[in-house]
């Protein structure tokens, strides 16, 4: 699956950092797309819905971000410890994107 251009905009119109954008792009391209591709190929509507619920929620992204920050700090020796999730705290962690 090839990914084209992406526009990231926060619903609350707050700024999004370069690191947050990078993490979101990595998550969508290398985690979500694989799950979605398999679900779409199955032809099963239930599997498609399950894939959306499983992958497109704040909690799942935040798990990914925690690991990604460690990987990125090790790879480029710049600290990612201060990078926060782009998702706010007003909605639940299992809310869809």
- Whether residue 10 lies inside any domain: the answer is no
- Whether residue 92 lies inside any domain: the answer is no
- Whether residue 3 lies inside any domain: the answer is no
Tens digits of residue pLDDT in 9-63: 888 888 899 999 999 999 988 888 878 887 888 888 888 888 888 888 888 999 9
The Cα-based distances of 37 to 9, 24, 58 in angstroms read 24, 18, 20
Q: How many domains does the chain have?
A: 1
Q: How far is CA 59 from the centre of its chain?
A: 10
pTM exceeding the 0.85 threshold for the entire prediction: no
Contact 54, 78 (CB under 8 A): no
- Whether residue 61 lies inside any domain: the answer is yes
- Whether residue 5 lies inside any domain: the answer is no
- Whether residue 29 lies inside any domain: the answer is yes
Q: How far is CA 37 from the centre of its chain?
A: 16
Tens digits of residue pLDDT in 65-86: 999 999 999 998 788 988 999 8
Domain that holds residue 60: 18-76
């Amino acid at each position: 699956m090839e990914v084209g251009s992406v526009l990231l905009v926060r619903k609350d119109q707050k700024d999004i950092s370069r690191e947050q954008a990078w993490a979101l792009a990595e998550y969508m391209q290398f985690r979500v797309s694989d799950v979605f591709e398999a679900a779409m190929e199955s032809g099963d509507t239930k599997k498609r819905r399950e894939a959306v619920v499983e992958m497109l929620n704040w909690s799942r992204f935040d798990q990914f971000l925690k690991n990604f920050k460690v990987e990125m700090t090790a790879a480029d020796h710049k600290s990612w410890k201060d990078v926060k999730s782009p998702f706010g705290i007003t909605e639940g962690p299992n809310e869809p994107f």
